[in-house]
A = this chain, B = another copy of it.
Amino acid sequence: MAATPADVKEYPNSYVFVVDMPGLKSGDIKVQVEDDNVLLISGEMKREEEKEGAKYIRMERRIGKFMRKFSLPENANTDAISAVCQDGVLTVTVQKFPPPEPNKPKTIEVKIA
């Protein structure tokens, strides 16, 4: 099971996972959430069917099944995930939960005794 290079970015309101998938179409890629906090990206890179009479002179491109797993931070909202594949690059965006309201200092009115 091969790996494929990925970037992970954090934005104020989201986490973004960018994964290289040259030659893959949206239908070849699976994006899942496991155990509530693991983002699982998998797929299969295929070489196209060979026409008769073809002969490989050089073979460097990776093929086969691949998988990437990312642990999601506690504030990741696994119900708000979107994924887009364009030009062989998959971008998965996971929204963050809004931060908890800061505890406002409580003001106690001082009465004149």
Could you list which residues of chain A lie within 8 angstroms of chain B, going by C-beta atoms? 5-12, 15, 18, 20-25, 47, 51, 53-62, 87-89
B88 touches A21 (CB 8 A): yes
CA distance A6 to B62 in the complex (A): 9
B89 touches A7 (CB 8 A): no
Given A22-B88, A23-B88 in contact, is the A62-B5 Cβ separation under 8 Å?
yes
CA distance A86 to B57 in the complex (A): 22
Which single residue of chain B is at the shortest CB-CB distance from A89? B23
CA distance A57 to B54 in the complex (A): 43
For A60, the chain B residues whose CB sits under 8 A away are 5-7
Given A10-B54, A55-B9, A89-B88 in contact, is the A23-B23 Cβ separation under 8 Å?
no
Which single residue of chain B is at the shortest CB-CB distance from A24? B87
A20 touches B87 (CB 8 A): no
